[in-house]
Homo-oligomer: A and B are copies of this chain.
C-alpha cells in the first residue's frame, strides 16, 4: 500500500492524465469515481489496477474489502488526501474512492447478440453524459449494451463513466463504423428500429422482435438518410410541443421501455 501526499507524485499525475482522451487511448486505462461504482465493477468481475482512497475513509469496511481484493489481484492500493482526490476528480466534494480500470471494449466479431433481447446503436453521439445515461438505461431494461458508430464520444471518459452509474461495467460497449455494423447485423437475426421524424411510424404501433437494435442518431442531426434507409422500421415518439425534439438519452429510454414491454408480454 502506497501513502501519497504529494500532488506531483508521478503515480497521481498519471492517474490524473486519464481525464485526457489521448492518455486513455495510449494506456488502455480509465478512471471511475466512487465507492459504489468501484464495488459494482468488482462484482461484475473487473478489479481496478489501482485503487485510490481518502485517508479519512480508511476504516470504511467496504474500502478495506476492496483494497484487499485489489492487492490480492496484484493491483496497487494508494492512500491519499481528500485534496489530492479533489485534484483527480475535479469535484468540489470528491468521492472517497477512485479506481483505475482496464478498458474492455468488445469487437463486433466477439459480440454475441443472443445474450440480450435489446441492443442500442448510436451514430456519432457527441455527449458522454448522454452515453452514460443510455448505458444506465440499458442496465435497467436488460439491454445488452451500446454499439457506438462513427465519430461517437469516448465511453471511457470521466463524464460517461459517471453518468453510467456503474453500468459501463455490466454492459457491453462496441466501437465501430456504420458500414461494418450494418454488414455484421445482417449476418444474423435482428430488427433495426431507427428513431426518426420523417417517414416514421408511431413507436407504439410497431411490433418489435428480439433481438431489436434501437438505432439513435446524434444530438444535432438525427439519423443520416443512408442509415435510415438501412432500418427495418423507422419509429417516432409523439412530439406535441414546439421544439420537436427530445434529449437523445430520453428518447432512447422511452423506446427501450416500449420494446421491453412488448418482448415481455
Residues in chain A within 8 A of chain B (CB atoms)? 40, 43-44, 129, 133, 136-142, 163, 165-167, 170, 204, 237-247, 249-250, 253-254, 257, 260-261, 264
Is the Cβ of B254 less than 8 Å from the Cβ of A165? no
CA–CA, A132 to B65, complex, Å?
A: 39
What is the distance, in angstroms, from A196's C-beta to the closest C-beta of chain B?
15
Given A247-B133, A250-B249, A260-B238 contact (CB < 8 Å): yes
CA–CA, A257 to B242, complex, Å?
A: 17
What is the distance, in angstroms, from A259's C-beta to the closest C-beta of chain B?
12
Partner of A40, one of B139, B165, B242: B242
What is the distance, in angstroms, from A56's C-beta to the closest C-beta of chain B?
21
Partner of A243, one of B136, B260, B264: B136
Q: Which single residue of chain B is at the shortest CB-CB distance from A252?
A: B250
Sort A-B residue pairs by CB-CB distance and give the 7 closest, nearest first.
A139-B241, A142-B240, A250-B253, A254-B257, A133-B247, A140-B241, A140-B239
CA–CA, A240 to B261, complex, Å?
A: 12
Is the Cβ of A243 less than 8 Å from the Cβ of B166? yes
> 11 A-B residue contacts at CB 8 Å?
A40-B242, A44-B242, A136-B245, A137-B247, A140-B240, A140-B244, A166-B242, A167-B241, A238-B264, A240-B260, A253-B254
CA–CA, A163 to B237, complex, Å?
A: 19
Given A141-B238, A241-B167, A264-B238, A136-B246 contact (CB < 8 Å): yes
Is the Cβ of A140 less than 8 Å from the Cβ of B245? yes
Chain B residues contacting A241 (CB-CB under 8 Å) are 138-142, 167, 170
Chain B residues contacting A139 (CB-CB under 8 Å) are 240-243
Partner of A250, one of B237, B250, B261: B250
